[in-house]
Structures are given as C-alpha cells and as structure tokens.
Structure 1
Amino acid sequence: MKLTIWGAAKQVTGSMHLLQSHNYSILIDCGLDYEKETYQEENQYFPFDPASIDVVILTHAHIDHSGNLPTLLRMGFNGQILCTPPTADLTELLLMDSVNIFLSKQNKRARGKRVASGPKPLYLHKHVMDTVDRFVTVAFDKEFTIKEGITLRFIPVGHLLGAAAVVLNILEDGQEKRIAFTGDIGRKNYPVLVDPQPIPEVDYLVSESTYGGRLHSKDTTIEQKLVETINETCVKFPGRLIIPAFSIGRTQALVYSLNKIFSEGLLPPVKIFVDSPLAGFATDVYRKHHHLLNEESQDFYKRKGDEFEFEELSYVQDKRESISISNYHEPCIIISSAGMLEGGRIQDHLYHNIQNYYCTILFIGYCAKGTLGNRLLRGDPIVRLRHRDLMVFATIKQTDLLSGHGDHDDLLNTVKQQSPEKLKKVFLVHGENKSLDSLAAAIADAGYTVAIPEKGEVFEL
C-alpha cells in the first residue's frame, strides 16, 4: 500500500491524499489550494492522471477539501465520490458559489459593460452538476464496501455538519491494514454540532494540525462574549455590530447562539440581519439533516422551535434588501460573508460603517495573511474599499470561541486515543509550519512515530 501526500503539505489548504493498493487508486479529498494569488491557474493541473483515480472519498464540504472536484471530473475522473448525505448537499452549494466567484473575478465592469479581464474559471456550473451526479452518500458509522478487500467507515468529527474522519480497512496480500484520515477535527460543546467521536484503532493516521501549538479561550462561553459585545455596542450605545462569518457552518452556530441569548431574555430585543443568500440555503440543509445535530440543539427545538428562526432575526435575500440595511438607523447586528472580508456583501457594510465610531466589527474566525480581515486585525489605520482609502474608526474585536477546529490539546488527544504499540506512524498535514512542528513534538513526546510530509512525498505502508 502506498500513500502520497499531494495537498495540504506544510500548508493549510488544498487537501488531497492518494492511497494506492493493488493498482486501485483512492483519492481522499480534492480541495482547492489557494495559498497563492494565482491559485486558479495552479489548481488546473494534477500531479497524476485524473482518469487513473478509481474513487474519491470526501471528508467534508469546505472548499479546501472539495473545491477542485469539478476540475478532476473535467480532466477525466469517471468514478464515484463517497461522502455523508449532509456533505453532498453542502458541497453542491459551495461549489456553485465557487463558480460564481470565478466568474466575478473573470469579468469586471468598464464604462457600464462587462469585459473579460481575470483568469479563466476552473470550472462552470455544468461541471458542478456533473460532480453532484457522482456523489454516493454513506451514513455515519456504517461499513461500506468500496470493492472486495476495501471497506470504508465514516466517523463523526464535528467541525461542520456532515464532516467525517475516514477509516479504511484494506486487505493486501493476506494482511489487513487500517488507515484513518481525520479530515478537519471539531471541538467539544460546539453550537449545533455533535462532539468528535473517537477514531477506532488504526495502523496509520493522517491528521490535520491547524491549531497545533494553540489553545482556545476557555475562560468564557460564546454566549457570554456575545452578550458582552452586544450590550456594549447596541444597548448602551445606539451602534451597529458587524460580524463577518462564513455562510456555511459558522453562521448557523452564531444564529443558534443568538437565539438562545434572546429567547432567554439576556438582552433587550435587537434587530439581526443575516445578509447572505448562501447562508439561507445552508440553513435549510441544517434543517433537512436536523437529526444529526447535537442533543442540546434537538432539545432546544422541542422546547422552543426552530433554532435558526426567531423574532429579531431576518434573512436578507436580494441585493435591494441588502442595500436598504444602510438606511436602518436603529441599533442592529449584521451577519454577512465572507469571513475574511475578501468579497461578498460584507464589503458593502464595511464601506458604510468602517468610519462609524458607533460600529464594532467582531471577527469570529481565522483571517489569512494578506486579507482585508487580517489588515484590520493587525491594526491598520487605513484600509482600501471601493477604490477609496478609508480611516478605520470602528472598533475591531476578535474571538476564537466559534472556531470550528479543535485546538492543540484536542488534536493531541485524538492521537492519544490510539495504541502506541499498534499505531505505526502519524502523518501531519493541513497546518502552517509552526503548528506542524509544535504538534509533531508533542506527539513524539507521547511515544508515537510522527512525520511531516513534503508535497508529493511517497510512503510505503
């Protein structure tokens, strides 16, 4: 059996791992690598023949794990894509949104007309629909036979609705070998989502390391942080709270947390706008797969109804509604995407509020270097929006309490659930160098053999 790490090697994005046994090729994830500005050009080439891949296994819907699947099909892949039912639904939404982003980058307005200027789209809506037709869904904790001698099991790991660790049992030359791919590991007690389940004992483990060396805040809850911020921004003063949030996953967790706050009367009513059509569609997927949400969420539904709908909340659909929020002069909360401020309707709200002393911008997720969100977080006094340099008078805040990733201890404990005698090697991917090194040192100290693969490095298992 041979493992080749083709993506997310010594970086976070572009997850893609190739497992080969007896001339049968399994690709685990096929994500977009967007570490470079020219990522669209970079992602149109694969280091292997896409037609040689027999099956793809998708851990979850996020674009850095799913976003290059349509390119794989366009270049010759003709097999099945195995994933959980929620992952299939959410991936379709994200891939369609990805096409819209490609098209918006390709075209710009010049004197009222659209002219081609940017890179050619990696794929189009047709390719997304071809990809969706390849999905074969497998329920959690059910053994699925891929072919004779190879079985699959999806283990819930939180992080996002439908997210799973992949456990493969492979019979090779009369010997059974077991390998697991964590995908992205969530954290305990996260709003709406189930806690990560232990991964069964395996011979090899390919683990993410996003938060290696970092610990989440533990001195307060997300509800306490939100109450404090909303009270300071919208109750004591007639201000606006703007929360950049990714439409899928983060927004649903945030809306549920706000529902709990206002339904329990912890704050006086404040109008809340969710300004993201994609968030609305994703919330419908969460409703569709409601039985997979955590026990707290299920109990809330029985007692008080829909977790994602309450009196103070409005979902904004069309652009005209979005623009009209600027004319809403009462205190309010605006939740909009994208989370790093790179495009989306959030930029309109920033443009109108970045110089508002009564505005607070609360970041609830990671902002990569070079993004507008990162520039605000590092304290840049001036930012550029709509070709204008604007002074930053709004208050900038950040919390990691809604991060969907497990922290250093969570990742380490995932490894420690394995027997040191049975687990032959841990491969660390999906992390920056500092995180990889820190987590690798802790795993080695715990008595395990660990490797940090280079891109394209091959391991005989």
Structure 2
Amino acid sequence: MNLTIHGAARQVTGSMHLLEVGTYKILIDCGLDYEKDRSIQSNEDFPFDPASIDVVVLTHAHIDHSGNIPTLVRLGYEGQILCTPPTADLTELLLLDSVSIFTNKAEKSRKHKGKGKFGTNLQPLYLQKHVMDAMDRFVTIGFNKPFRITGDIELTFVPVGHLLGAGAAVFKINDHGEEKTIAFTGDIGRKNYPVLDDPQVLPAVDFLVTESTYGGRMHTKDKTVQDTLIEIIDKCCVKEQGRLIIPAFSIGRTQSLVYSLNKIFSSGLLPPVKVFVDSPMATRATEIFRKHHHLVNAEAQDFYKQKGDEFEFDNLTYVETLQDSRQVSNYYEPCIIISSAGMLEGGRIQDHLFYNIQNFYCTILFIGYCAKGTLGYRLLRGDSIVHIKDRDLAVYATIKQTDVLSAHGDHDDLMNNVRSQDKVKLKHTFLVHGEDSSMQALAESLGNEGYKVTIPEKGVSYTL
C-alpha cells in the first residue's frame, strides 16, 4: 500500500492524496491550488493520468478539496466520486460558482490583452458542462455506514464538523492478507461551533493523514461568538452609526453567522440593525442546510422548535439580484453586510469594498482564513493601498479580524485528534493542509509526545 501527497503539501490549498492498494488507485480529494502566484491552468498538470484513477473520495465540499474534480473528469477520469449527501449538494454549488469566476477572469483577460496581469489570454479551467459531467459520477454515502469499494477496501465517513456533510475518510484495507487502516481527516472542525455538531472521535487506525491549518495557534478562548459579535456590532453600528462588512464564505460560514445574529437580535441583546446577506450562493446553500436539517446540531434544532427557522429573522434580507445588491450601497442607515467571497477574490464583496474601503465609518471584519496573495491577506497585512476593480484605493476603513467563527480546530484540537488514537496501533501520522510553520509546530508537539510524524514533500511516495 502506497501513499503519495500530491496537494496541500507544506501549504493549505489544493488537497489531493493518492492511495494505491496494489494496482487500485484511490484519489482522496481533488482541490484547486490557488495559493501561489501561478496561472489557474497549472491545475491541469496532474502528476498522474486522470484515467488511471479508479475512484475519488471527497471529504467535504470546500473548493480547495473539490474544485479540481471537473478538470479530472474533463481529462479522462471515468469513475465514481464518493461523498456524503450534503457534500454532493454543496459541491455542485461551489463548482458552478467556480465556472463563473473562471469565465469572468477570461473576459478580463480578453479586454486587457497585453496589459498587466490580465494580459495572458486566460481560458476557463472548466465549463458548466464539465461540472455536470462530474456531478453525474457522484455516489452518496451516509455517515458511519461502511461502504465496500472493492472486496478488499471498505470506506466509512466519520463526521468531523467544519462544514455540513464534512467527513473523515476512514479506510479498512485487506493488503495481501494483512488488514491495514488509514484515515484522512479532511478539515477538522471545533467544538461548540454554531449550527454544526462537534467532531466525532475517529476509530483507531494504523496511519493518519491530518490537516494542520492551526498548528501552533490557539483560538480565542476568553470570548464567545456571541460576545465578540455584540461588542463589534455595538461599536460599529450602534455607537458610531456606521456599517459593518463581513466577508464570509457563502457555504458554512454565512449560515453559522446568520444563526448567531439571529440569537443576538431575537433575544434583544442589541437594538435592531438591518442585515443584508448579499450572496445568491449563500441563499441556495441555506436551502441545502434546511434540506439536511437533521444533520445540524442539537442547539440549532432546539432553536428551530422554539423560535422557528434559525436562518430567518426580522431585519434580515437575502439579496438576490445584482440591481438589489447595488441598492445596498445606497442604504445609509447603520447596517451589516455579509457577502462572499471570504478572501475577497471574487463575488459581490468586491463591489461593497470598492464603495466602502475609503469610508472612515466602515469596519471590515474578517472571520476566516485568507490565503497568501489574496486581497483579504493584503488587507490583513496592513496594506494602505489596495487594487480593487481596476483602481488603486487608499484604505481608510477599519480592518478587524476574529477567529471565533473559524471552522478549523486549533492546535489543541489537532493534538487531541491524534491523542484519541491508540498510541500502540498508530504507526505514523502525516501532516498536510497547513503553512510550513504550522506543520512544524504541530510535528514538534506530536514528536515530543512520542508520535512518529512526517511532513510530506509534494509528490513523494510512502510505503505503508
């Protein structure tokens, strides 16, 4: 049995791991790598023949795990794609959104031919047809229901929080008469996260491939999500009568944020403030959360029974059309604008930034990770001038960041995930999906406790 880490090796994005059992090839995740300064077309350069892959297993829907699946299919992959039901629904939304982003960038490339960063005659990585071809290959599996891929390979998805439908892929394998077990965590959530269940303890395995996004870093412990939001909203929207713009991923983060705001305003903890959710994809994703409501956590289900839909409340408006989105900029009362994308690399959030980045009475609150090279990263870095919609604009708005709504487990959560394993049975732990410093910090902590740990180089194979 061989393991090769082809993506998210010593970086965060582009998760893609190849597990070979004899001649049978399993690809775990197939995400877009958008972290480095390189063309999107470089995602076509698979280090293997896509047609040689026998099955794809998808841990969750986020684009850095799912976003290159249509390319794989376009270049010859013909097998099944295994995931949970919510993951299939959410992945379709995200992949179709990627098509829109690719198409828009291609249009800019044609308009700016020979000028600046868009003068490269970009082509979309894939089109809607390729997304639908990929979706035709999806086969869904419920949580904790063993699924036999072949006579020698069994797969079970174990809930890990992080996102609706996210599951660690746990394999039980008969390797030439010897039973071996390996788990791929995907992304691990955190306890007490709004809407989502806590991560479930993984079964004991021989090998563990775990994310390390927050290695060496701890989440804020002294403030709750509710306390943090109340403090920021009170200052920005109540006392200063300004506007609060929250860039948020449409899928997962927005639903948790809306639910948290619902609890605050429905309990009278703040005066009413107008809230706009300006993301059609967030609206559609919310419908998927309603569809799979049996998978939200007990608190959210109790809220629904007592007060109604956790994703609806007075003063909340889901903005649909582009015309309505532009009207939000003309709303001069204090308000909260939640819009995508979370790293500011596309979507309607750029319009809101364009009109508000120079507004002294505006606060931009980041509630998630921003990869290097993104506009969000540059703002958090403290750049005084940023390029938005073909213009260089001075930054006068207040820039804030909080990790209380981060959907990733922190250093202690990652350590406890490994500690929950049988230390005698666990032969090796591989760290992926993290910046090099995060991986090093986590590896050092695990090594100090006697665990055998490797930080894989991209493309290096390991015999298990």
Common topology (TM > 0.5): yes
Looking at structure 2, the residues matched to 102 and 356 of structure 1 have their Cα atoms a distance apart, in angstroms, of 30
1:335 corresponding residue in structure 2: 338
In structure 1, which of residues 168, 173, 182 is the aligned counterpart of residue 176 of structure 2? 173
Deviation at 1:112, TM superposition (A): 12
Contact 1:106 1:117 in 2 (8 A): no
In structure 1, which of residues 350, 354, 378 is the aligned counterpart of residue 381 of structure 2? 378
Looking at structure 1, the residues matched to 393 and 148 of structure 2 have their Cα atoms a distance apart, in angstroms, of 57
Contact 2:429 2:452 in 1 (8 A): yes
2:107 corresponding residue in structure 1: 107
After superposition, residues 129-278 of structure 1 pair within 5 angstroms as 129-278=132-281
Between the two proteins, the alignment pairs up a number of residues equal to 460
Looking at structure 2, the residues matched to 112 and 208 of structure 1 have their Cα atoms a distance apart, in angstroms, of 39
2:63 corresponding residue in structure 1: 63
Contact 1:83 1:137 in 2 (8 A): yes
Contact 2:36 2:372 in 1 (8 A): no
- Mean alpha-carbon deviation: is it higher for 173-182 or for 81-90? 173-182
**TM-score (ref. length: structure 1):** 0.97
1:21 corresponding residue in structure 2: 21
Change (3 A) 1:232 1:111: same
Change (3 A) 1:274 1:175: same
After superposition, residues 318-333 of structure 1 pair within 5 angstroms as 318-333=321-336
Looking at structure 2, the residues matched to 111 and 152 of structure 1 have their Cα atoms a distance apart, in angstroms, of 48
Contact 2:12 2:435 in 1 (8 A): yes
**TM-score (ref. length: structure 2):** 0.97
- Mean alpha-carbon deviation: is it higher for 372-381 or for 322-331? 372-381
- Mean alpha-carbon deviation: is it higher for 104-113 or for 90-99? 104-113
Looking at structure 1, the residues matched to 81 and 216 of structure 2 have their Cα atoms a distance apart, in angstroms, of 34
Looking at structure 2, the residues matched to 275 and 10 of structure 1 have their Cα atoms a distance apart, in angstroms, of 34
Looking at structure 1, the residues matched to 38 and 460 of structure 2 have their Cα atoms a distance apart, in angstroms, of 23
- Mean alpha-carbon deviation: is it higher for 133-142 or for 368-377? 368-377
Deviation at 1:272, TM superposition (A): 0.3
2:416 corresponding residue in structure 1: 413
Change (3 A) 1:30 1:237: same
Alpha-carbon deviations, 1:413-454, whole Å to 9, x = none? 100011111100001111111011110111111111111111
- Mean alpha-carbon deviation: is it higher for 29-38 or for 173-182? 29-38
1:90 corresponding residue in structure 2: 90
1:445 corresponding residue in structure 2: 448
Deviation at 1:118, TM superposition (A): 3.7
Give the secondary-structure state (helix, strand or coil) at the position aligned to 1:43: helix
Percent identity, aligned pairs only, is 68
Q: Which amino acid aligns with 1:85?
A: P
Contact 1:190 1:402 in 2 (8 A): yes
Looking at structure 2, the residues matched to 80 and 380 of structure 1 have their Cα atoms a distance apart, in angstroms, of 45
Deviation at 1:355, TM superposition (A): 1.7
Deviation at 1:109, TM superposition (A): 8.8
Deviation at 1:98, TM superposition (A): 0.6
Q: Which amino acid aligns with 1:228?
A: E
In structure 2, which of residues 294, 301, 305 is the aligned counterpart of residue 298 of structure 1? 301
Deviation at 1:378, TM superposition (A): 2.3
Alpha-carbon deviations, 1:46-65, whole Å to 9, x = none? 11111111111000001111
Looking at structure 2, the residues matched to 285 and 392 of structure 1 have their Cα atoms a distance apart, in angstroms, of 36
Contact 1:108 1:117 in 2 (8 A): no
Task: Identify unmatched segments of 5+ residues in structure 1.
Answer: none
- Mean alpha-carbon deviation: is it higher for 354-363 or for 366-375? 366-375
Following TM superposition, where does structure 1 have runs of at least 4 consecutive aligned residues deviating by more than 6 angstroms?
Answer: 109-113
Q: Which amino acid aligns with 2:384?
A: P
Contact 1:179 1:202 in 2 (8 A): yes
Matched, 1:355 2:361: no
Looking at structure 2, the residues matched to 3 and 212 of structure 1 have their Cα atoms a distance apart, in angstroms, of 22
Looking at structure 1, the residues matched to 453 and 217 of structure 2 have their Cα atoms a distance apart, in angstroms, of 19
Q: What is the Cα-based RMSD across aligned positions, in Å?
A: 1.6
Looking at structure 1, the residues matched to 296 and 82 of structure 2 have their Cα atoms a distance apart, in angstroms, of 21
Looking at structure 1, the residues matched to 380 and 222 of structure 2 have their Cα atoms a distance apart, in angstroms, of 22
Looking at structure 1, the residues matched to 39 and 412 of structure 2 have their Cα atoms a distance apart, in angstroms, of 32
